Structure 1
Amino acid sequence: MTSHLIVNTQAGGYRPELILRLGRELADAGHSPRLHLVSTLAEARETAAAIQATEPHPYLLVAAGDGTINAVLNGLVPGRATLAVIPVGTANVLALELGIRSVDEALQRIRSGNRRPLAVGVVTSGGSRRYFSLMAGIGCDGAVVAAVNWREKQVLKKGAYLLAAMRTLRGWDRGTMTVTVGQERMTCHSVIVSNAARYGGDLLLAPGQDVAVPTLSVVCICSNRRRTYLRLALRFLLGFGLSGPDVRRRFGRELSIEGTKPIQVDGDAIGCAPARIGVIERFAQIIR
């Protein structure tokens, strides 16, 4: 199997010497990957698609953050690729889900070669499909991501999301949407659909959730009041989880969303609802 190393040179933790280090240590582990340098999410997606077009079962080592990994996923055909994650991004949530907290740990996992299936979520909206490994946020979460300034993110890292949240609070949207999970219909102000257990780093959103298992956690926030969100955010940041009388949690493999609300997947704004969300079992194999 030919391996390919995709490196995002704009990732938050990227340094030029990283390429030499990865090349040297991967060679010591028996890999001689072809190097692909990208600087945008579009380039990452196009690179993955080009590799997939020439190799039916590629092995992709991705040194980047969650946004780039999402772009790579969206360039692949389900059921064919093997992925390895090397955390070089701002939050590296997928790496944390896989038990990988550093480049050193990623290289150790690559040497061992242990693989498990990766299930991914898929959002269908406006005639397009978008895969996600971590989560999709519709409503307030989607609005915050859409408000993130790219230059602020380069300088402030996670702090850029705080500024975006403040902008979202100033222009608060009180509208609601209808979320259907199975036979149950719920009126929500926002909804977070998780394929993973963590949110935005090491915050636990869906305990027990596993990216290998094709089931989605659906967290519906019913209240449209800003003070409710501020209270929930404080409890969440303090480690109490996202719970309370204004929160409903469900599990399923398919759901639909009626209404007009912004959507983000894995930290990237992709448009607005209405939408349908499902899960694809064994989308790829992943090193963990």
Structure 2
Amino acid sequence: MRAYTALINPISGGGRAAERWEPIARLLREAGAAVTVCPTRSREHAVALASSAARRGEIVVAVGGDGLVRDAACGVVAGNGTLGIVPAGRGNDLARTLGLPDGDRELARLLLDATARAIDVLEVGGVVVPGNVYAGIDSMATAVINRNRWLPGALLYRLAPIRAVLTWRPATYTITADGRTRELRGQTVVVANSGSYGHGLRIVPTARLDDGMLDVLVVREGRLHRIASFLRAAKTGAHLDLPEVEVSTAREVALAADRPIPLCADGDEIGTLPATIRVLPASLRVLAPTAPRQSR
């Protein structure tokens, strides 16, 4: 029988993560599983708890949003363990991409019975990132989101990019992808593994979690005043047809800019440019439904 250590972010979902976890924990215990609950105090605390539990052979369950999933994944990869996810945050974009169910019984059954699926992760400055790394308007919008947690998630994720536009000016980026360097003026750069963020936007729809590649989306200078229409187009992937948008692939990307720009990963600021992002293929085992076959 599996044993579980649940990491609970006390502020996820407006402070309701523990409430979200309790009925699932009850179902696991009724099935005979051992369940330990650990509230997290910081990123470092979450990583250390996840690493220790993984090394003990326990399944680490991240009960929170994409930020906690990222921190738990960092510890799970270090401890060569397995990750479970109970989405309890505002965006829950990785859970959505993985196709996790919503119901308590369905999530409990998945945690009890699912075979672990191996997915890629990104690594940047020692931080493991299951989803995406980004710098530009998107990282400025993330700062707005994290300063306004009291607003409803769906509304906040739509207003934040518009707010970020008001103080943004295009940057000159230097991008070195697998040894090839170029310079361009742009609004934002996304290095994607899952391709999904912003409460359900498929910002890089070509990205795959298990193809061993990074997808690099660049939005060049232009059409900044049309951010609302850009976000609408991103719901369907139509934004890829815009002339200022381009996508390429690589295994390692070095990213720099002509001024300090925040670098974000799965909903949190993790530093500033410059940075180097690389893919670690099939490095994270996660309990999730079997992935459908996909092609580029």
C-alpha distance in 2, partners of 1:74/1:94?
A: 15
**Structure 2 counterpart SS, 1:153:** coil
Partner of 2:145: 148
**Structure 2 counterpart SS, 1:102:** coil
**Structure 2 counterpart SS, 1:63:** strand
Q: Work out the number of aligned pairs and report it.
A: 281
Q: Offset of 1:6 from its aligned partner?
A: 1.5
Partner of 1:83: 83
C-alpha distance in 1, partners of 2:190/2:63?
A: 27
Q: 1:131 aligns with which of 128, 132, 135?
A: 128
Partner of 2:28: 26
Q: What are the Cα deviations for residues 37-70 of structure 1, in whole angstroms up to 9, with x where unaligned?
A: 2355444234224435xx2544211221111111
Normalising by structure 1, we get a TM-score of 0.86
Q: Offset of 1:285 from its aligned partner?
A: 1.0
CA contact (8 A) 1:57 1:81 kept: yes
**Structure 1 counterpart SS, 2:112:** helix
Q: Offset of 1:224 from its aligned partner?
A: 5.0
Partner of 1:187: 184
Could you tell me which runs of 5 or more consecutive residues in structure 1 were left unpaired when the two chains were aligned.
none
CA contact (8 A) 1:4 1:60 kept: yes
CA contact (8 A) 1:3 1:32 kept: yes
Partner of 1:169: 165
CA contact (8 A) 2:205 2:237 kept: no
Q: Offset of 1:93 from its aligned partner?
A: 0.9
Could you tell me which runs of 5 or more consecutive residues in structure 2 were left unpaired when the two chains were aligned.
289-296
Relative distance call for 1:79 and 1:120 in structure 2 (3 A) is: farther
How do 1:14-93 residues align onto structure 2 when only pairs under 5 Å count?
14=16, 16-38=18-40, 40-52=42-54, 55=55, 57-78=57-78, 80-93=80-93
Q: 1:249 aligns with which of 247, 250, 259?
A: 247
Moved more, 79-88 or 7-16: 7-16
Q: Percent identity?
A: 25
Q: What is the alpha-carbon root mean square deviation over aligned residues? A: 2.5
- Structure 1 segments (4+ residues) deviating >6 Å: none
Moved more, 158-167 or 260-269: 158-167
Q: What are the Cα deviations for residues 133-185 of structure 1, in whole angstroms up to 9, with x where unaligned?
A: 110111111111123344x2234224334443233222122222111223252
CA contact (8 A) 2:175 2:182 kept: yes
C-alpha distance in 2, partners of 1:213/1:56?
A: 29
CA contact (8 A) 1:191 1:220 kept: yes
Partner of 1:276: 276
Relative distance call for 1:231 and 1:202 in structure 2 (3 A) is: closer
